[in-house]
Amino acid sequence: MEGEAENQSFELLDSGGGRVLEKLGTLVSSRASHSAWWRRKLPGAEWRKAVELKREVKEPLKLRIGTLRFLLSPQGGVRGLAPELLEHWKQVGAQCAAFAEQQRRPARVLHLFGGAGGFTLAAAQAGASVAHVDASADAIKRAREHAALNTLANRDIRWVVDDPVKFAQRERTQATRYDLIVIDPHTPKDAKRGFELERDLGALLSTVSGLLSDKPIGVLLCCRQGAVSPTTLQNLMRQEFNVFGGAVESGEILLKGAEGVAAVPCGVFANWRKAA
């Protein structure tokens, strides 16, 4: 079983020249990366092993990223699974496990713009109760398939097809409270979902601040598209959450490979954590 899981795993093999080279189970694939300007480390022969997913993959491929399993669709590609968030998934899982041990109850987690569900799966693995919200019914269907693949289908996960901003606003009026909130808008401007980062993020953070429990873990904000600065996110987070104490950190979201493989910037994050 261990060997099988290893064969199904994701790995960043190389980057540079505007692309990344990735191992997807037994396949090797290449995709564009506008931030990878540097020279490639591997020889051209290794890059020429890359296949076109839409041609080689006829049905969803099981793929392990860290401890989580996903279904890789040739249409959606790797980008939709967000392997660059692996370290943040681990952090959320560890926070939920520590909370349950300290508070003697499961953490309540809200995942807005849930997408493929990495944060939801990590939290559920750690025993948390999760509300997973996305405006796309197809995205919810895919995330539920991922939950089943990770034997989490029977966990306490509330799947919600709704506009994340409007959902958060309703939850606030209904006095629903969460211990940990993850916000992961996929694009800076998404007409289909009606969310525009520059226009709407400040108001969303203000709404979210009213959803925190009396023993909050924190709020994690990930922005994986657009030219937004970590300092911008840090200032926005401090503006809303400094009143609760704790501290805000920010930085780049990085797609990482083995030692010696150049990490690839994929966005920025800001994380407010309530001091213990």
DSSP per-residue letters across 55-114: HH-SS-EEEEETTEEEEE-TTTTTGGG-GGGHHHHHHHHHHHHHHHHHHSSPPEEEEES-
Structure tokens at 3: 């060997």
What's the pLDDT at 55? 86
Write down the pLDDT at residue 187. Answer: 60
Residue 19 pairs with which residues in a beta bridge?
A: 16, 32
pLDDT digits (tens, 9 = 90+) for 97-156: 999 999 999 999 999 999 999 999 999 999 999 999 999 999 999 999 999 999 999 999
C-beta neighbour count of 242 within 10 angstroms: 12
More confident residue, 186 or 250: 250
14's enclosing H/E stretch is strand 10-16
**pLDDT surpassing 70 at residue 190:** no
Give 159-188 pLDDT, tens digit per residue. 999 999 999 999 999 989 999 999 999 764
Q: What is the pTM of this model?
A: 0.93
Residue 276 has pLDDT above 60, yes or no: no
pLDDT digits (tens, 9 = 90+) for 44-96: 999 999 998 888 888 888 999 999 999 998 777 898 999 999 999 999 999 99
Category of 198 on φ-ψ map: left (φ > 0), alpha (ψ -120 to 50) or beta:
alpha
pLDDT score for 22? 97
pLDDT of 217 over the 80 cut? yes
Torsion region of 117: left, alpha or beta (phi above 0 gives left; psi -120 to 50 gives alpha): left
Q: Check: CB of residue 132 under 8 Å from CB of residue 143.
A: yes
The per-residue DSSP string of the chain comes to: -HHHHHHTBEEEEEEETTEEEEEETTEEEEEE-TT--S--SS-HHHHTT---HHHH-SS-EEEEETTEEEEE-TTTTTGGG-GGGHHHHHHHHHHHHHHHHHHSSPPEEEEES-TT-HHHHHHHHTT-EEEEEES-HHHHHHHHHHHHHTT-TTSSEEEEES-HHHHHHHHHHTT--BSEEEE--SSSEETTTTEEHHHHHHHHHHHHHTTB-SS--EEEEEE-SSS--HHHHHHHHHHHHGGG-SEEEEEEEEE--STTSPPEEEEEEEEEE---
Average pLDDT estimate for 25-45 = 95
Rounded to whole angstroms, the Cα distance separating 205 from 189 reads 17
pLDDT at position 74 is: 76
Domains in the chain (CATH in brackets) are 2-81 (2.60.40.1180), 84-273 (3.40.50.150)
Sign of the Cα torsion 80, 81, 84, 89 reads: positive
Please compute the mean of the pLDDT values over residues 255-259 and round it to a whole number.
Answer: 94
Two tokens at 265? Answer: 């910037």
